[in-house]
């Protein structure tokens, strides 16, 4: 397998309005796994759901990867990630059903699994993934959400934990040195448009500085929601 060198960073921020943070992220460089989750419904323990995803999905991925051949193809990687997401969904759903104060909890998910020169992106909800390749920014995900006239935020149509089964959108992409992948919650994308996100990603070479710059600008633009970013830089 042609392994690339990866550096990464992540940052989560409560924003300027919310009184608690329902977002969570995870970075596991050993697995090549990166996660952003945005809990749904503060009254229904959305922060518990997102944290549970960040903690459990890496465990499922680690176990599943051990059963794959030494050099899995894209279809095998995508299928493995899909199975891990299903297991994570069932865990969140079971916890929601078992604990009265957690009933109805759910979360979005966007995750990236890097194996060799393949980056497999999976998402559920309106947390997004972007790829910066040769200075051009491309959105890799399509929001699972609908606008609602009575809500400030869009209403998500798919989430982790809300039902016993869930279908993730999964796609694999070939990556090369110089590429950057951004995973983020909608606290970033509701505050900054894609052009501004791309400008910051091109300007800031260091992943930590890029994450801080993205969060700072989102807060400067209102910070109406929790903001979470994970940046993966390929060398």
Reduced to 3 states (helix: H, G, I; strand: E, B; else coil), residue 235 is coil
Query: Which residues have a Cβ under 8 Å from the Cβ of 33 and sit 6 or more positions away?
Result: 26, 27, 57, 58, 61, 111, 112, 113, 114
In CATH, the number for domain 6-234 is: 3.60.40.10
Which DSSP state fits 42? Answer: G
Flag whether pLDDT at 182 surpasses 90.
yes
Flag whether pLDDT at 234 surpasses 70.
yes
* CA dihedral for 88, 94, 98, 103, sign (positive or negative): positive
Which structure tokens are listed for 139? 């959105």
H or E segment at 202? Answer: helix 194-203
118 within 8 A of 126, measured Cβ to Cβ: no
Which structure tokens are listed for 99? 């604990």
pLDDT band at 44 (very low <50, low <70, confident <90, very high): low
H or E segment at 218? Answer: helix 207-220
Q: What is the mean pLDDT of residues 172-188?
A: 98
Flag whether pLDDT at 123 surpasses 80.
yes
The alpha carbon of 68 is separated from its chain's Cα centroid by a whole number of angstroms, namely: 23
Exposure string of 198-219, with b = 16+ CB inside 10 Å and e = fewer, is: bebbeebeebeebbbbbbebbb
Query: How do the domains of the chain map onto residue ranges?
Result: 6-234
The pLDDT, as a whole number, for residue 41 is 64
pLDDT band at 166 (very low <50, low <70, confident <90, very high): very high
Averaged pLDDT score across all residues of the chain = 94
Q: Any alpha helices (H) in 15-71, and if so which ranges?
A: 46-65
56-100: per-residue pLDDT in tens? Answer: 999 999 999 999 998 899 999 999 999 999 999 999 999 999 988
């Amino acid at each position: 397998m042609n392994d690339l060198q990866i550096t990464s960073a992540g940052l989560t921020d409560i924003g300027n309005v919310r009184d608690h943070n329902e977002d969570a992220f995870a970075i596991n460089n050993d697995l090549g796994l990166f996660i952003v989750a945005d809990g749904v419904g503060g009254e229904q323990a959305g922060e518990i759901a997102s944290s549970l995803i960040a903690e459990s999905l890496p465990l499922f991925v680690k176990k599943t990867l051990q059963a794959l051949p030494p050099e899995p193809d894209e279809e095998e990687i995508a299928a493995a990630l899909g199975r891990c997401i299903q297991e994570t969904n069932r865990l969140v759903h079971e916890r929601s059903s078992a604990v009265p104060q957690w009933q109805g909890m759910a979360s979005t998910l966007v995750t990236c699994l890097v194996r060799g020169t393949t980056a497999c992106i999976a998402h559920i909800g309106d947390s997004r993934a972007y790829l910066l390749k040769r200075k051009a920014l491309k959105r890799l995900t399509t929001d699972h959400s609908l606008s609602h006239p009575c809500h400030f935020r869009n209403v998500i149509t798919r989430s982790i934990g809300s039902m016993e089964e869930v279908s993730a959108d999964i796609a694999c992409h070939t990556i090369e040195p110089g590429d950057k992948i951004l995973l983020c919650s909608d606290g970033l994308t509701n505050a900054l448009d894609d052009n501004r996100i791309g400008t910051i990603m091109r300007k800031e070479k260091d992943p930590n500085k890029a994450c801080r710059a993205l969060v700072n600008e989102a807060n400067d633009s209102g910070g109406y929601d929790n903001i979470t970013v994970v940046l993966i830089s390929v060398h």
